[in-house]
A = this chain, B = another copy of it.
Amino acid sequence: MTRVLIVGGGFAGLNAAKVLGNASGVDVTIIDKRNHHLFQPLLYQVAMAGLSPADIAAPIRSMLAAYKNIRVLLGTVDGVDLQRNVARTDAGDLPFDYVILAAGSTHSYFGHDEWEEFAPGLKTLEQATEIRRRVLVAFEAAERIQDPEEQKRLLTFAVVGGGPTGVELAGAIAEMSRFTLARDFKAVSARSARVILLEAGPRILPMFSEGQAARAVRDLGSLGVTVRVRTAVTGIDSDGVQIGDERLRAGTVLWAAGVKASRLGAAAGLLVDAQGRVIVEPDLSVKDFPRVFVAGDEARFTHQTGAPLPGTAPVAMQAGRHAAHMILDDLAGKSRRPFHFVDKGQMATIGRSRAILEKGSLKLGGFIAWLLWLVIHIYYLTGFKNRLLVVVQWAWSYVTFGRGARLITGEDWRMRRAR
């Protein structure tokens, strides 16, 4: 039996496992430090109280329960020894013949890890509920006090980073304060909340065309979001954001700027780029290690367009499947093929009823793009039930402007940050 180890149950690892599932002659172990696969494209909706964690996550174990040759382990990989073909984990040593590294990425604060406390990123369910807690607590705290200066600070939300996640977060906060919360709060006007999107580069959404990005800026503006480009953040603390000499007082700061890959590749002695991504060969294997594959956010793949493929769900899904197929091809005596990413286009939502969508020369915006966004995301959401639940919640929210998951929970649900 050929032993395949998959590190990570995200889009890359899960799709690799499904290709290898019930393949003869292959024994698969998939290990993840979390028990669930997460549908990250909708994570911002958990942060914005539109969906519950369980709506966008499912146990890896049950997603792969149908495959007899797959073993699912909850555990942490401390390192991978590529000379001895063994992964060291807190569940013991795991020997392998092939390994697919798909451990993903986390936030990078560009050397300022001290900012994390004041500006959480959005990668895990815990971070999503923490962001939800902070945003809702800011409104509660503003409602309790009289000082108008402090109220203004509490109702100022700064989102750092003008990529799709930053745009979606900023749009959702603005929409939530204008429509949902405005009805609930009486002493403060939730409508007066200020949402500021800060981008260091010359424009937001650089992966989209200029016209589409400009459209997003207009859509954000109509929701009340101020977009500031060429605005590099130089400090973040409990009071707000520092931008060079300028002080932006903000009760809530969210981080949607940089990411860095899992340390697993670098720790294994593999060649990585500045963001920690492993440089991969055209077939997604690693130079000198043909039985080691890297897929998803952890890989730097430049053979198709010269530029690295982005860290998105479609790239990870296709790369995971390709790596798995290469293993099956090896076993069948076929030669390796280069990975070719089929770009199905990209999209971003801006609040309710608006989105931008781009695929080659096709460019859509407004309500039509939003409807397409809806259909595609519902289609890709895993599992029948989640899909139905999400549809029910979205339909309800759309009609009523309500958001069902406005809960302040967590160990530190008290108003810690409400000064």
Name A residues whose Cβ lies closer than 8 Å to a Cβ of B. Answer: 33-36, 52-55, 57-59, 61-62, 65, 71, 73-76, 90-92, 125-126, 129, 136-137, 140, 143-144, 183-187, 384-386, 388-389, 392-393, 396, 400, 402, 404-411, 413-415
Contact = CB atoms under 8 A, between A and B. Distances in A.
25 contacts: A35-B136, A35-B407, A36-B406, A52-B53, A52-B55, A52-B405, A53-B407, A57-B407, A65-B184, A71-B186, A74-B140, A75-B144, A75-B415, A90-B415, A91-B144, A92-B144, A125-B409, A126-B411, A126-B413, A384-B396, A385-B392, A385-B400, A388-B392, A389-B389, A411-B411
B386 A404 contact: yes
A34 B140 CA distance: 11
A415 B126 contact: no
Nearest to A129: B409
Nearest to A46: B54
Contacts of A144: 73-75, 91-92
B406 A35 contact: yes
Contact of A184 (B61, B73, B183): B61
A385 B389 contact: no
Given A59-B407, A73-B143, 4 more contacts: A58-B404, A76-B414, A90-B415, A384-B396
B408 A34 contact: yes
A295 to B, nearest CB: 24
A13 B400 CA distance: 26
B408 A36 contact: yes
In the complex, the 3 A-B pairs of residues with the closest C-beta atoms, listed nearest first: A54-B405, A52-B52, A74-B140
Q: Please report whether the interface of chain A is mostly helix, strand, loop or mixed according to DSSP.
A: mixed
A387 to B, nearest CB: 11
A57 B36 CA distance: 23
Contacts of A400: 385
A144 B36 CA distance: 17
Contact of A140 (B35, B52, B187, B396): B35
Nearest to A145: B91
Contact of A126 (B90, B143, B410): B410
A52 B406 CA distance: 13
A372 to B, nearest CB: 25
B402 A385 contact: yes
Contacts of A125: 407, 409
Nearest to A71: B186
Nearest to A92: B144
Contacts of A392: 385, 388-389, 392
Contacts of A74: 137, 140, 143-144, 408, 415
B65 A183 contact: yes
Contacts of A396: 384-385, 388
- Choose among A91, A143, A402, A409 the residue with the greatest number of B CB atoms under 10 Å from its CB: A409
Contacts of A55: 52
A300 to B, nearest CB: 29
A400 B385 CA distance: 10
Given A52-B54, A54-B405, A33 B414 contact: yes
Contacts of A129: 409
Contacts of A57: 407
A128 to B, nearest CB: 10
A410 B128 CA distance: 11
A408 B72 CA distance: 15
A411 B411 CA distance: 8
